[in-house]
Chain A
């Protein structure tokens, strides 16, 4: 149980385009989803916390207009990287918590490469 999927697993795009990444909880309802960014050989950096039906809470230094997060249902959150640039290339990982739970369950990650 507690499986989280992400789509796509890998995406290559041109500079200036927008990319949408989906995060789904497959077998549980997640009131809270989290979006992380991971640079090579580094730890995870929390970008934002997404609660179903409300606006996402962004961490300091994360541009909310660049990284649009939508949590439309209890099983789906999306991250849209708008007007992507090469410096946005990274590994993006989402996680989800069950209702009332503490453990976060992580998706497999999405590797974004902006050319």
Chain B
């Protein structure tokens, strides 16, 4: 079946530290991969995505590379800011008859302290 596994949080980092949030997936075929971010009390916002192997998604300093050989899509940022504090969800998308179904990881809470 299809599933996403994320590293458990919470993660606490100092400002300007390096961030890695691990994400691995299990899927048949060739899914698209996404990172979404959820700020407190809000819905999910698309952070970045990659649609095929070796693609790199990037946005706001965050990056993730679609690695088919390791079935991974780890999220990285070189220097985090306090404003990056949020919950990050890794997800994969598979097409089915009723539309693209998303499978989400459990989310990783990040807190960045000044």
A interface, CB within 8 angstroms of B: 4, 6, 31-32, 34, 41-44, 46, 49, 51, 57, 93, 95, 97, 102-109, 111
Contact = CB atoms under 8 A, between A and B. Distances in A.
A43 B109 CA distance: 11
* Contact size range, B: 20 to 34
Interface stretch (B14-22, B41-49, B58-66, B74-82): B41-49
Interface of B: 32, 34, 36, 41-46, 49, 51, 89, 93, 95, 98-102, 104-107, 109
B32 A109 contact: no
Contact of B100 (A4, A6, A102): A102
A112 to B, nearest CB: 14
A6 B43 contact: yes
A-B residue pairs, 8 tightest by C-beta = A32-B99, A106-B44, A108-B43, A109-B43, A106-B43, A49-B98, A43-B104, A43-B106
A111 B41 CA distance: 9
A111 B49 CA distance: 27
- Chain A contact residues, majority secondary structure: strand
A111 B101 CA distance: 23
B102 A46 contact: yes
A35 to B, nearest CB: 12
Contacts of A46: 101-102
A108 B42 contact: yes
A93 B44 contact: yes
